[in-house]
Amino acid sequence: MSHDMSKDTLPESHDSHGTEVAAHGDPFADPGLPAHEPRRTDIDERAAQRAERQVSLLFILSMLSTVGFIASFVIFPIDKIVYIFPIGHVSALNFSLGLTLGVALFCIGAGAVHWARTLMSDHELPAERHAIEADDEVRADVIEQFKTGAAESGFGRRKMIRNTLIGSMALVPLSGVVLLRDLGPLPEDKLEHTGWDEATPAKPIQLINMNTNEPMKPEDITVGSLSFAKPEGLEEDAHDFQVQIAKDALMLVRIAPGDLKDKQSAELGFEGILAYSKICTHVGCPISLYEQQTHHALCPCHQSTFDLADGARVIFGPAGHPLPQLKITVDEKGFLVATGDFDEPVGPSYWERSR
């Protein structure tokens, strides 16, 4: 095996007048640009005229399609639904506008490309590349100019000016940073409290069924079902409803006494009814999938799975800790109530959260 092709890492010179080299026996030399091969439209005027007609036809189709677009806009009522195989039921207006616009645009493009490919010259031409790097003379000249400019400014010599300028330039963006302060409040302990935190054993808060907007009784919650609740007094039209429900949302399950694995968790519940935060401890999605046989609750966003019979322990997925649980009991009228806030902050974990 000869090594003469790879003596160094420099490229071989590409010589466009390769025939000369080839004559000396290099079979791989560059033979130079190939001769132009005429297309049919270059030599047959009838073919060229046919191509011209094809291009024009495409442009005419585009015009017709634009007329169709305007006609569709006028004709079809916006709420008209039509069945189109195999897409199904679609808005007639959207369908006709989209297709006519699509055809109008596509035909312009197809016409232009067909024109370029059949009728415009397809002679390949070489163009020289120009050096990007400046030559040494220019380089020396620019560096000299810069040095002159720098010397005339005295930037290097007058150190006090330089240092104070750097100082002032470094400080002035701070104003911009300070201005961002009122983007939002400080976190303080906001994340540690929910709408349930005003509940006390003396003044409990009723659990309100999310669907019926009524207080709940223990017998409403059957084994195998998943019920959702919010604290009493939180109405949908409240100005901060979204912020509150993002923390207060509750899910209730009843688990047969024999299936309860975690004693502490059972004590927070009432007759096997357990109230967990609905907000996933991973990144805050509401947990909504419940497998009644296994008592597993699954978050549909990232598939964290919690065993609700075992204190909502994480048994699969990316969540880092169990769902917080709310202590519940019944009031004198027999309605389910909470007597305090969750046993730990709800939702995703964060730096200040103590375990």
Q: Which is nearer to other proteins, 79 or 219 (CB)?
A: 79
* 273 C-beta neighbours (distance < 10 Å), count: 21
Round to whole Å and give the CA distance between 216 and 330: 9
Nearest distance from C-beta of residue 202 to other proteins, angstroms: 28
Residue 38 amino acid letter = P
Stretch that binds other proteins, among 142-150, 258-266, 324-332, 342-350 (CB under 8 A): 342-350
DSSP 3-state of 163: helix
Q: Which is nearer to other proteins, 184 or 258 (CB)?
A: 184
Question: Should residue 83 be labelled a site residue for other proteins when binding is judged by CB under 8 A?
Answer: no
Half-sphere exposure of 78 toward its Cβ, with a 13 Å CA cutoff? 0
Of residues 154 through 193, those in contact with other proteins by CB under 8 A are: 180, 183-187, 190-191
Residue 150 amino acid letter = A
Q: Which is nearer to other proteins, 76 or 162 (CB)?
A: 76
Convert residues 14-43 into a mask of x (bound to other proteins by CB under 8 A) and - (unbound).
xxx-x---x--xxxxxxxxxx---------
Nearest distance from C-beta of residue 13 to other proteins, angstroms: 8
56, 150, 164, 347 from 160: Cα distances, Å: 73, 16, 6, 54
Stretch that binds other proteins, among 8-16, 161-169, 255-263, 332-340 (CB under 8 A): 8-16
Rg, Å, the chain Cα set? 38
Q: Of 54, 101, 224, 266, which one interacts with other proteins (CB under 8 A)?
A: 101
Q: Which is nearer to other proteins, 224 or 317 (CB)?
A: 317
Strands of the 289-291 sheet, one edge to the other = 289-291, 296-298, 305-307, 313-316
Would you say 229 and 210 are in contact if contact means Cβ atoms under 8 Å apart?
yes
Round to whole Å and give the CA distance between 164 and 160: 6
Tell me the pairing of strands 205-209 and 296-298.
unpaired
Nearest distance from C-beta of residue 200 to other proteins, angstroms: 23
184, 255, 325, 331 from 289: Cα distances, Å: 34, 16, 18, 29
Task: Residue 228: name the closest of 322, 345, 336 by CA.
Answer: 336
Of residues 277 through 316, those in contact with other proteins by CB under 8 A are: 278-279, 282-286, 288-289, 300-304, 314, 316
Nearest distance from C-beta of residue 153 to other proteins, angstroms: 28
Question: Should residue 120 be labelled a site residue for other proteins when binding is judged by CB under 8 A?
Answer: yes
Tokens of 66: 């634009």
Q: Which is nearer to other proteins, 127 or 171 (CB)?
A: 127
Question: Should residue 144 be labelled a site residue for other proteins when binding is judged by CB under 8 A?
Answer: no
Of residues 62 through 81, those in contact with other proteins by CB under 8 A are: 73, 78-79
Of residues 206 through 235, those in contact with other proteins by CB under 8 A are: 210, 228, 230
Q: Of 44, 236, 259, 291, which one interacts with other proteins (CB under 8 A)?
A: 236
Half-sphere exposure of 160 toward its Cβ, with a 13 Å CA cutoff? 0
Q: Which is nearer to other proteins, 99 or 266 (CB)?
A: 99
Stretch that binds other proteins, among 1-9, 140-148, 214-222, 324-332 (CB under 8 A): 1-9
Q: Which is nearer to other proteins, 109 or 154 (CB)?
A: 109
Round to whole Å and give the CA distance between 303 and 280: 10
Number of residues that bind other proteins (CB under 8 A): 115
Q: Which helix (H) or strand (E) holds 47?
A: helix 45-75
* DSSP state at residue 308: G
Q: Which is nearer to other proteins, 34 or 258 (CB)?
A: 34
